[in-house]
Amino acid sequence: MRIIAYFLALAIFAASSLAALHSYRSPRGQDGQHQHPHPGGDLNNPIGSKDVPPVETPTTLTFFENTDMTGASYTVQVQPHGSVQTERLIATNELTGAGLAGKVSAARLACGTRPSRASLFDINWSQFSNGTMVECMPGQKTDINLASHDLDDKINAAALVAHVRTSDNNTHLVRFSTLFASAWKTQVQQLGGGATAKWTQIWLDDFQDIHVEQALQVDNTWCSARDAVFDIRINVSASNFKPVFKVYGISSWVGHGFGDAWGCYDGMVKSLSDGIRSASTQLEQQLPQLVIGSSSSAVFYFSPEGTTKDYDLFFWK
């Protein structure tokens, strides 16, 4: 009997120890890896939260043949991963394959766990893309009758984004296209070298890059005036939880004219290059100051407002 009582007590002790072990919350994730969020956040967890991320559900975008959402339809989705934004482009050939090219009359955006935006374009994402925008908040859906926007049968592409997961599950942004246009106008006026702005084209190349095409007239006392044009790209990223803008030259051109025989052309090319370099440096220093309210964000990205010439800059807050 003593032996039986001894083993019975031993079994009770082992069972209670096992229960206590299971009640302890391990710092490891389901895959057994340690989870140590960066104190300021990172690209998978920009808020630096110690909370377990929610089970994410996708955002869907459905194109309909008819304004009453009947007939042929085509649905795409974006599935969020981590805490960063998730993007998807829908090209014309995709809608063509679905039998809806030139036939889309309505659309529905249905949000899962993330607020989302869809820009509906008449052509593939480019300098000349135009259309309209539709947005929704988590768990909600938004329908749009394209006929009421004079876009019936005119939508042939789209750009879809499920936004970064923020601390309050809302979107945080600045209307950057207006701010940037003003900042760029100032820089063009300071190019120097006898450069005068003729026209400017600014648009989004993608979710991270602004494209600028600038036409000028360049002049010099001893040379004839001539046309010039250059293209630059401005990329946005994050470093130390602050926005970083980097300017890259794409191309430049200066016309020929009177005085080239004694170096006018070469001199004007150099003056324009120096002016672009100076303007780029100033932009890189000034643009972060336009992003008000974006303290401690590890994510920055653009999203068009139904046209690539109007766009917002989103960030975590």
pTM for the model: 0.83
Query: What residue ranges of the chain have pLDDT lower than 70?
Result: 1-53, 295
Q: What is the pLDDT of residues 95-144, one digit of tens each?
A: 999 999 999 999 999 999 999 999 999 999 999 999 999 999 999 999 99
One-letter amino acid at 184 equals W
How many other CB atoms sit within 10 Å of the CB of residue 183?
Answer: 16
Residue-level pLDDT at 20: 38
Quote the pLDDT of residue 317. Answer: 81
Closest CA to 161 of 200, 215, 204, 222: 204
pLDDT tens-digit profile of 208-249? Answer: 999 999 999 999 889 999 999 999 999 999 999 999 999 999
Check if the beta carbon of residue 143 is closer than 8 Å to that of residue 105.
no
Q: What pLDDT, on the 0 to 100 scale, is given for residue 73? A: 98
Q: What is the pLDDT of residue 21?
A: 33
Task: Give the pLDDT score at 26.
Answer: 33
State which CATH number among 2.60.20.10, 2.60.40.1840, 3.40.50.1000, 1.10.3720.10 fits the domain covering 59-170: 2.60.20.10
